[in-house]
A and B are shown apart, each in its own frame.
Chain A
Amino acid sequence: QMWPAKKDEL
């Protein structure tokens, strides 16, 4: 699964 569009990292 690729990263979600909502990026939770800085």
Chain B
Amino acid sequence: MNIFRLVGDLSHLAALIILLLKIWKSRSCAGVSGKSQIMFAMVYMTRYLDLFTTFVSVYNSVMKVVFLLFSFVTVYLIYFKFKATYDGNHDTFRVEFLVVPVAGLAVLVNHEFSFLEILWTFSIYLESVAILPQLFMISKTGCEAETITSHYLFALGIYRALYIANWIFRYYMEGFFDFIAIVAGCVQTILYCDFFYLYVTKVWKGKRLTIPA
């Protein structure tokens, strides 16, 4: 555990809490892509199956359970409790265009051809693109993203960027590297770059955020 990973994990946790609080307090999931949230739930489900097979640390297990739980609650709030406020007409990204290629890639490019390892690889690849429906939704509507949604996206994006620093650190300190995680993590971070720029130049100056289509 190093500082980059710890802050990254806390940022990841903060993102999930921000989104949950936003939906709960406003009693509305307007502007939130349910498709992205379903994909994140799939990411956690396929990656954290090792909860049943391997124990790393209490921290590791607790965080995994919390991520799973928060993610399920978010999906429940969007598709059941506050379904009436879900803006499905604008959440039109074709999820199969992401999930099918990602599943194919996970079967073809992985560390080991085993069930758990392929699911882990699938989760890494899927996480890197899971935010696209959300970004697409904001750019497509031309509507301004709520500031709180921007904070959510920033926290979620910066988490993987911090993980890249963590991987560089670990490569030099421990000699470990995971090519799959690093490449996917870089792709993921690049997808957020445009958003990061807009976030810093607009949201920090008190304006609302729009993503040009």
Contacts and interface: CB of A to CB of B under 8 A. Distances in A.
Interface residues of A, number: 10
B60 A8 contact: yes
B5 interface: yes
Contacts of B179: 2
A3 B181 contact: yes
Contacts, number: 35
Majority-rule SS of B interface residues: helix
B56 A2 contact: no
Interface in A1-10: 1-10
B112 A9 contact: no
Interface of A: 1-10
28 contacts: A1-B176, A1-B177, A2-B111, A2-B178, A3-B178, A3-B181, A4-B176, A5-B112, A5-B117, A6-B54, A6-B56, A7-B50, A7-B54, A7-B56, A7-B120, A8-B56, A8-B57, A8-B60, A9-B5, A9-B163, A9-B166, A9-B181, A10-B9, A10-B12, A10-B60, A10-B63, A10-B64, A10-B67
Given A1-B176, A9-B181, 9 more contacts: A1-B177, A2-B177, A2-B179, A7-B50, A7-B56, A8-B57, A8-B60, A10-B9, A10-B64
